[in-house]
Amino acid sequence: MTPSKRAEADLPGGASAQADTAAWVEALYRGMLLIRRFEERVYRLFLEGEIPGTLHQYHGQEAVAVGVCDVLRPDDWITSTHRPHGHALAKGVSARAAMAELYGKRTGCCAGKGGSMHLGDPSVGMLPAIAIVGGGNTVVTGLGLAMKLRKSDQVAACFFGEGATNEGAFHEGLNFAAVERLPIVLVCENNLYGASTPYHRVSLVPDVAERAKAYGVPARIVDGMDVLAVRAATAEAVASARTGAGPTLIECKTYRFTGHSRSDACDYRTDDEEAEWAARDPLLVHGARLEQEAIEQLEAGVRAELDDAVEFARSSPLPEPHEALDGVYA
């Protein structure tokens, strides 16, 4: 049983099961590490002028993407946001295809047309990321509706920030999902800020989970810095969705370790606050469950994977200019 096949199963007991568990704990760590190192590389390559465009990075929130996607099957779907690198890697977009996309290469997961803000790949169950805040929250209802109408037991997960909960899309999407009992998991990454704006200045209700009540939707608040906590809550929500019980909202309390976008110095946050959250780094939290040696091995593996990804992206061909005109219509 590979980690991703574990799906809704509980942590296994017994001897060989314990080996399984260890491998799975490592796999979760590796998933987060890949995102962290990917983001670090990408940031450097961006500063060096190799990667064009703009970036919204995922450092700090790795436990959410990995914890959620670990529960999902390949034929489950996710929607993502302007900050999609972590979601993409966690759902199974290869580092090569993601990196090449950031480079604007034809081998990218969107053939160079999506770029950082629209990473995604239908073949692994990820829509091109929607960079309109809240945009995924209505579209995901359609994914759920298709699954329901086809009586499949697939599930769709929708990632969004706490800032998105003030959009009309959050409201309409959640209510429709509730009424139709769609197989959807709403994953709110509450990192306290929408761009520079702290949530407490734009919502009198500090917990997004509170809002779910307005729609009769069950909600859970979890430690978004602990991949196992995220995973456990997701497993419950996914199981419930698969059996037709409708949507669940999971609010993951988390923090982005970088600026909102590439040029943000985060002067609207205090050093204390940043330090406090840095101490809860998901790699530290989960790393404590691994041997140091294992971590080093994983680092090496990830480094190799990213070396390869960068090499792949660099050596990939640019799209031909005329390709810009393809793919608008089917």
Ligand X SMILES: Cc1ncc(C[n+]2csc(CCOP(=O)(O)OP(=O)(O)O)c2C)c(N)n1
**Contact call for residue 196 and its own copies (CB under 8 A):** no
**Contact call for residue 202 and its own copies (CB under 8 A):** yes
User: Of the ranges 10-18, 168-176, 218-226, 232-240, which one interacts with other proteins (CB under 8 A)?
Assistant: 168-176
Which does residue 15 touch among its own copies, ligand X, other proteins, none (CB within 5 to 8 A, set by kind)? Answer: none
User: Of the ranges 38-46, 88-96, 170-178, 189-197, which one interacts with ligand X (CB under 6 A)?
Assistant: 189-197
Residues 173-232, interacting with other proteins (CB under 8 A): 173, 175-176, 179-180, 194-198, 201-203
**Contact call for residue 172 and its own copies (CB under 8 A):** yes
Cβ of residue 25: shortest distance to Mg ion, in angstroms?
A: 28
Residue window 283-302: x/- pattern of binding to its own copies, with contact defined by CB under 8 A: --------------------
**Contact call for residue 191 and Mg ion (CB under 5 A):** yes
Nearer Cβ to its own copies (88/185): 185
C-beta of residue 263 within 8 angstroms of C-beta of residue 43: no
Name which position in 67, 128, 144, 163 contacts ligand X (CB under 6 A).
163
User: Of the ranges 63-71, 187-195, 236-244, 320-328, which one interacts with ligand X (CB under 6 A)?
Assistant: 187-195
